[in-house]
Amino acid sequence: MGYQLSGQALTSAFKKWSAEYDIYAPMVFEGTGCFSETDVIRYGKVTDPAQIVWDERSEYSFKDVLTPVCQVLFYFTENEVKEADFPPKGAIIFLRSCDLHAVKRLDFMFLENGPEDYYYKTLRDRVKFVLMGCEHPFEDCFCVSMGTNVSTDYDAAVNAKDGEYFLDCPDATLAAALQEFAEQTCDVVPNHVEDDDVEVTIPDNLTNAIAKTSIWDEYDKRCIKCGRCTLACPTCTCWSMQDIFYTENGKAGERRRVQTSCMFDDYTTVAGGGCFRQKAGERMRFKVLHKVMDFNTRAGFQMCVGCGRCDAICPEYISLTNCINTKLPQGMKEVLENGQ
């Protein structure tokens, strides 16, 4: 069953939901963009549907809710260890179809690829997802090519049109508030993109031999290893551990899990000062092949969801879509010509 709500009615539903959940959605942060006096669209807590950006893609994804940029895991002294408190409320996350498919990738990495990650699972179990309908593709999106343009695994879905909101809500907890404030019931099918302006085709003949081809050399000159592509990506989950000491003797402090990037200079540094994949092209190779080959080999589905954020946010205009459509076929041609 679906529901039609006015902006005021949905605000009332938000207020009801907020008793148990913090609501996260893409919103405008004024004056905090990459350039002077520019805005940025990223996820934050909202209390009113009018705060949500419905007609533009967020520059950064929802993942900071499930995998915080900096998460304190526990506190320690020389005598005891105390687990850090989790947020007192659960979370409701408004997100688009590609991002909802990204949750499947995060779940695989944190819950299925080895022992369950306790910290991720604790947050994940308290989250509900509200699918935001997409009426049209955004620049650089290629969700149709990746098969992530349609989602059905949601707790609620919403189409926004002319100040009215149309929601499908399988989840009984969320539906209770919608039933209370709905103007009327109706059938609701979430909007989805049917055709993208960008198409991507991953070569069927990819092998590990492509890692040693010359196609990656170009990125040594172009990529500045800033990591923006991975920090914006909804499926990149690289992190490092940091111990912060409160005392000079190092016997009291906290352990943090902090987001990082395989593109950063210190990511592959090991004890003794050794550093693997020092060149930018080597790091680009690692990232791209993980997105379109290695992860698929292990999980059975592609890691990339085609959101297009990496292309949009790169300061050097490096395009993942161009790499997949042009560079990878060139690389496999080189492999075949060299008999590898």
Query: What are the pLDDT digits (tens) for 284-310?
Result: 999 999 999 999 999 999 999 999 999
pLDDT the model gives residue 327 = 96
Q: Which residues contact residue 133 at a Cβ distance below 8 angstroms, ignoring those fewer than 6 apart?
A: 157, 158, 159, 160, 190, 191, 192
pLDDT the model gives residue 328 = 96
pLDDT band, residue 60 (cuts 50/70/90)? very high
Residue 58's closest CA among 94, 31, 90? Answer: 94
pLDDT band, residue 275 (cuts 50/70/90)? confident
Is residue 43 scored above 70 in pLDDT? yes
pLDDT band, residue 124 (cuts 50/70/90)? very high
| Contact (CB, 8 A) for 292 and 303 | yes
Phi-psi group of 23: left, alpha or beta (phi > 0 → left; psi -120 to 50 → alpha; rest → beta): beta
The CA–CA distances, whole Å, from 315 to 36, 217, 243 equal 15, 19, 32
Work out the average pLDDT over 173-180.
Answer: 95
Specify the pairing of strand 90-95 against strand 21-29.
parallel
pLDDT the model gives residue 274 = 81
Backbone angles phi, psi at 71, to 5 degrees: -120, 120
Work out the average pLDDT over 35-60.
Answer: 93
Residue 38's closest CA among 50, 48, 30, 28? Answer: 30
| Contact (CB, 8 A) for 97 and 143 | yes
Is residue 276 scored above 90 in pLDDT? no
Q: What is the mean pLDDT of the chain?
A: 94
pLDDT the model gives residue 286 = 93
Per-residue model confidence as pLDDT tens digits over 206-242 = 999 999 999 999 999 999 999 999 999 999 999 999 9
Q: In which residue are the tokens 């069927």 written?
A: 204
229 exposure class (CB count in 10 Å sphere: 0-12, 13-18, 19+): buried
Q: Which residues contact residue 117 at a Cβ distance below 8 angstroms, ignoring those fewer than 6 apart?
A: 110, 111
| Contact (CB, 8 A) for 29 and 44 | yes
Backbone angles phi, psi at 146, to 5 degrees: -90, 0
| Contact (CB, 8 A) for 96 and 57 | yes
Work out the average pLDDT over 311-324.
Answer: 95
Torsion of the alpha carbons at 196, 322, 58 and 30, rounded to the nearest 10: -130
The runs of H, that is alpha helices, within 142-256 are 143-146, 172-181, 217-222, 228-232
Local structure of 247: helix, strand or coil: coil
| Contact (CB, 8 A) for 320 and 291 | yes
| Contact (CB, 8 A) for 133 and 164 | no
CA–CA separation, 71 and 212 (whole Å):
37
Domain limits of the chain? 2-66+87-186
pLDDT the model gives residue 35 = 78
pLDDT the model gives residue 339 = 75
The whole-angstrom distance between residue 40's C-alpha and the CA centroid of its chain comes to 16
Helix (H) or strand (E) holding 287: helix 280-289
Torsion of the alpha carbons at 315, 36, 45 and 244, rounded to the nearest 10: 70
Backbone angles phi, psi at 334, to 5 degrees: -65, -40
CA–CA separation, 304 and 309 (whole Å):
11
Helix (H) or strand (E) holding 157: strand 156-161
CA–CA separation, 256 and 140 (whole Å):
34
pLDDT band, residue 340 (cuts 50/70/90)? low
| Contact (CB, 8 A) for 18 and 48 | no
pLDDT the model gives residue 281 = 94
pLDDT band, residue 20 (cuts 50/70/90)? very high
Is residue 269 scored above 90 in pLDDT? no
pLDDT band, residue 104 (cuts 50/70/90)? very high
